[in-house]
């Protein structure tokens, strides 16, 4: 693969930059190479557990300086999507502080009746009452929007319940399927392209999951590279119909490829 054509990168974080709290090898040289070869990038994650400022701070703690415009999560992406489509929409929200903050900062009204959209993200304060309110709103015509479709997510001793499973419950109760903003839908990738003011043809997606990062890139018409430092294994890759444009063992190999083809 000729890396000189990739002037812009859309980069996943969990399993690419770090594993849990631990930065993966080659983190600092990778960002140094992005800067020295004048490549633009957006860090884009389905994980809306941290706010943009918290991601900027976390990278800073590891010695990497990025601006808030260089970070995107599915909560912000959802708020931007709604803003572009229905800036005066009235919302019912299941979600944590990150999603609520992203929506209220843009001036959205969170209401109990006359709801246009039910917006659903991970909510540690989820109650049966909140689910009832969402189902009632959908029953009276509100559209269902999910920040991300992941049905599980990693917790300490294995996998816990993800946002996609709560969306599935709402679909079971209403017969209404959600509009999904996060990967593997192309919306967050398209927003990242718009933010960098660049085309898909000059952009490379970097991720560790075939079913979200790589599939989403393909749906957005963006070339992709899979790093084997996260979820996907070489065995999974060999058995999958879904194939990235390149596979690299980790950040050091990607850094070397970028430096060898400065563009």
> Catalytic amino acids?
12, 14
Residue 96 sits in the site that holds Mg ion (CB under 5 A): no
Closer CB to Mg ion, 116 or 208, in the complex:
208
Residue 150 sits in the site that holds Mg ion (CB under 5 A): no
Cα separation, 2 vs 17, in Å, equals 23
What's the min distance (Å) between Cβ of 46 and Mg ion? 8
Looking up tokens 């957005």, which residue turns up? Answer: 220
Closer CB to Mg ion, 21 or 140, in the complex:
21
Candidates 10, 15, 49, 217; binder of Mg ion (CB under 5 A) is 15
Query: E strands, 117-257, where?
Result: 117-120, 143-146, 152-155, 158-161, 179-180, 203-207, 223-227, 246-248
Give the count of residues interacting with Mg ion (CB under 5 A): 5
Cα separation, 171 vs 198, in Å, equals 36
Closer CB to Mg ion, 44 or 99, in the complex:
44
Output the CA torsion sign for 124, 130, 132, 138: negative
Candidates 14, 76, 116, 150; binder of Mg ion (CB under 5 A) is 14
Q: Which two tokens stand for residue 246?
A: 């390149």
For residues 189 to 208, the per-residue mask of contacts with Mg ion, x marking binding by CB under 5 A and - elsewhere, is -------------------x
Strand partners, 153: 160
Interface residue list for Mg ion (CB under 5 A): 12, 14-15, 208, 230
């Amino acid at each position: 693969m000729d890396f000189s054509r990739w002037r812009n990168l859309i980069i996943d974080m969990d399993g690419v930059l770090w594993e849990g709290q631990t930065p993966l090898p080659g983190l600092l040289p990778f960002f140094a190479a992005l800067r020295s070869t004048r490549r633009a990038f957006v860090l884009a994650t389905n994980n809306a557990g941290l706010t943009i400022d918290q991601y900027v701070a976390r990278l800073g703690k590891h010695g990497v300086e990025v601006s808030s415009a260089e970070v995107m999560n599915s909560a912000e992406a959802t708020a931007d999507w709604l803003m572009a489509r229905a800036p005066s929409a009235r919302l019912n929200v299941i979600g944590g502080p990150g999603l609520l903050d992203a929506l209220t900062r843009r001036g959205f009204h969170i209401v109990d009746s006359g709801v246009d959209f039910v917006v659903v993200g991970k909510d540690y304060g989820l109650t049966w009452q909140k689910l009832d309110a969402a189902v009632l709103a959908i029953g009276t015509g509100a559209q269902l929007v999910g920040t991300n479709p992941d049905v599980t997510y990693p917790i300490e001793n294995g996998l816990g319940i993800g946002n996609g499973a709560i969306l599935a419950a709402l679909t079971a109760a209403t017969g209404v399927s959600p509009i999904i903003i996060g990967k593997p839908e192309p919306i967050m990738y398209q927003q990242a392209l718009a933010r960098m003011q660049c085309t898909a043809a000059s952009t490379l997606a970097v991720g560790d999951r075939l079913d979200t990062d790589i599939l989403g890139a393909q749906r957005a018409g963006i070339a992709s590279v899979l790093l084997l430092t996260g979820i996907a294994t070489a065995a999974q890759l060999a058995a999958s119909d879904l194939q990235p444009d390149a596979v690299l063992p980790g950040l050091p190999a990607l850094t070397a490829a970028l430096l060898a083809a400065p563009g």
